Chains A and B, each alone.
Chain A
Amino acid sequence: MTEVAVIGFAQSPCLPSAGTTSGVETLVPVFQEVLAATGLAKQDIDFWCSGSSDYLAGRAFSFVNAVDAIGAYPPVAESHVEMDAAWALYEAYVKLLTGEARTALVYGFGKSSAGQLRRVLALQLDPYLHAPLWPDSVSIAALQARAGLDAGRYTERDMARVAARSRTAALSNPKAQVSGSDTADDLLAAPYVADPLRAHDCAPVGDGAAAVVLAAGDEARRLRARPAWITGFAHNVDSPALGVRDLTTVPSATAAAAAAGLRGGDLDAVELHAPFSHQELLLAAALGLGDRASVNPSGGVLCGNPMFSAGLSRIGLAAKLVMSGRADRVAGHATSGPALQQNLVCVMEGS
Chain B
Amino acid sequence: MNSAITTRAAVLGTGQTEHRTRRTDVSMAGLCREAIDRALADAGIEWSDVDAVVLGKAPDLFEGVMMPELFLADALGATGRPLLRVHTAGSVGGSTAIVASQLVQAGVHRRVLAVAFEKQSESNAMWALSIQPPFTMPVGAGAGGYFAPHIRSYIRRSGAPPHVGAMVAVKDRRNGALNPHAHLRQPGITLESVNASPMLWDPIRYDETCPSSDGACAIVIGDEAAAEASDRQVAWIHATAMRTEPTYFAGKDHVNPRAGYEAARALWRAAGITDPLEQIDAAEIYVPFSWFEPMWLENLGFAAPGEGWKLTEAGETGIGGALPVNPSGGVMCSNPIGASGLLRFAEAAMQVMGRAGEHQVEGARTALGHAYGGGSQFFAMWVVGTAPV
Q: Which A residues have a C-beta under 8 Å from some C-beta of B?
A: 1-2, 21-22, 48, 53-55, 57-65, 67-68, 71-83, 87, 90-91, 94-95, 97-100, 120-121, 123-128, 130-131, 234-241, 251-252, 255, 336-338, 341-342
Chain B binding site: helix, strand, loop or mixed by DSSP? loop
Contacts of A67 in B (CB 8 A): 244-247, 377
Q: Indicate whether B65 reaches chain A with its CB closer than 8 angstroms.
A: yes
Q: Are A65 and B66 in contact (CB under 8 A)?
A: no
Give the complex CA separation of A26 and B254 in angstroms: 28
Give the complex CA separation of A330 and B39 in angstroms: 40
Contacts of A121 in B (CB 8 A): 66
If A80-B86, A99-B5 touch, does A238 touch B79 (CB 8 Å cutoff)?
Answer: yes
Give the complex CA separation of A255 and B67 in angstroms: 22
If A75-B244, A82-B86, A124-B66 touch, does A59 touch B133 (CB 8 Å cutoff)?
Answer: yes
If A60-B61, A98-B4, A127-B65 touch, does A21 touch B133 (CB 8 Å cutoff)?
Answer: yes
CB < 8 Å neighbour of A72 from B89, B99, B103, B244: B244
CB < 8 Å neighbour of A83 from B84, B107, B128, B131: B84
Q: Are A123 and B65 in contact (CB under 8 A)?
A: yes
Q: Are B80 and A1 in contact (CB under 8 A)?
A: no
CB < 8 Å neighbour of B78 from A2, A237, A338: A237
If A79-B242, A99-B5 touch, does A61 touch B374 (CB 8 Å cutoff)?
Answer: yes
B161 CB to nearest A CB, Å: 31
Q: Which B residues have a C-beta under 8 Å from some C-beta of A?
A: 2, 4-6, 27-28, 58-74, 78-89, 95, 99, 102-103, 105-108, 122, 128-129, 131-136, 241-247, 249, 251, 258-259, 262-263, 374-375, 377-378
A288 CB to nearest B CB, Å: 18
If A59-B132, A95-B102, A342-B70 touch, does A236 touch B246 (CB 8 Å cutoff)?
Answer: no
Q: Are A75 and B86 in contact (CB under 8 A)?
A: no
Q: Would you give 20 A-B contacts (Cβ < 8 Å), ordered by A? A: A55-B67, A59-B61, A68-B246, A76-B244, A78-B378, A79-B242, A80-B86, A80-B87, A82-B67, A82-B85, A97-B107, A98-B4, A98-B106, A100-B4, A124-B66, A238-B80, A239-B73, A239-B74, A341-B73, A342-B83
Contacts of B5 in A (CB 8 A): 98-100
Contacts of A337 in B (CB 8 A): 67, 70
If A75-B244, A79-B88 touch, does A94 touch B108 (CB 8 Å cutoff)?
Answer: yes
If A98-B6, A100-B4 touch, does A238 touch B73 (CB 8 Å cutoff)?
Answer: yes
Q: Are A124 and B65 in contact (CB under 8 A)?
A: yes
B386 CB to nearest A CB, Å: 23
